Amino acid sequence: MARSKRINPLARAVAVMSAVVIVSGGATYAVLADQAKLTGNTISSISSNSAELVVNNTNDNTFHQTEQGFHFNNLDPGTFSDAKHFQLRNNGDETLDNIRVQITGEEALPSGVDGSDIVFRFRLEDGTIVQRTWAQLIAAPGQELFDDLESNETEDIRVRVRIDDSVTTDNIDISSFDFTFTGDSEV
């Protein structure tokens, strides 16, 4: 007790107030990340208590944690692939903010193809087009795809891929990677 009396009262007050702010701030604000994964073979999702990001890659309006994914095969430089359709849905009770997309689990790119040579074009339900390169999408925490996904809301998305026309190889396959979609929710 005698030792605490030697500490400047102002310093003690600042230390106590800082501790209170840190503890109360941490207790009242938590951010939960929720994600869904679109892989070369499956689509899967991970859920938290208040948010549930799920995916559907068919038009049957049935959402699962795991579904068959997409392959982009026989791509010729300078032209976009056919569009692949999928949906993201928030089955949770909270809005998911900052819906991002990232490439994870990727294997080596085809010979002669650089990460900046591969362009993904995402077309959202409202017609907005978000275009990102492979090189941009492998960087954490991903690239923003759209602002938010309300509780029980679904977003229809189409994705196409294009190989830059400077690449001299034809019939390129891009299929051994995962799209990871992430959203944040406050609780």
Q: Map out the domains of the chain as residue ranges.
A: 32-186
Q: What is the strand order of the sheet 96-104 is part of?
A: 66-68, 42-46, 31-39, 178-186, 96-104, 143-149
Q: Going by C-beta distance under 8 Å and a sequence separation of 6 or more, which residues neighbour residue 42?
A: 66, 67, 68, 69
Write out the chain's pLDDT in tens, 187 residues.
455 456 566 555 555 555 444 433 333 333 455 666 665 655 555 555 445 888 888 778 888 776 777 889 999 999 999 999 999 999 888 888 889 988 887 778 888 999 999 999 999 999 999 999 999 999 888 899 999 999 999 999 999 999 999 999 889 998 878 888 888 876 5
What's the pLDDT at 50?
47
What's the pLDDT at 182?
83
Is 32-186 in CATH node 2.60.40?
yes
Show the tokens assigned to 1: 């007790």
165-179: buried (b, 16+ CB within 10 Å) or exposed (e) per residue?
eebeeeebebeebbb
For 147, other C-beta atoms within 10 Å of its C-beta total 10
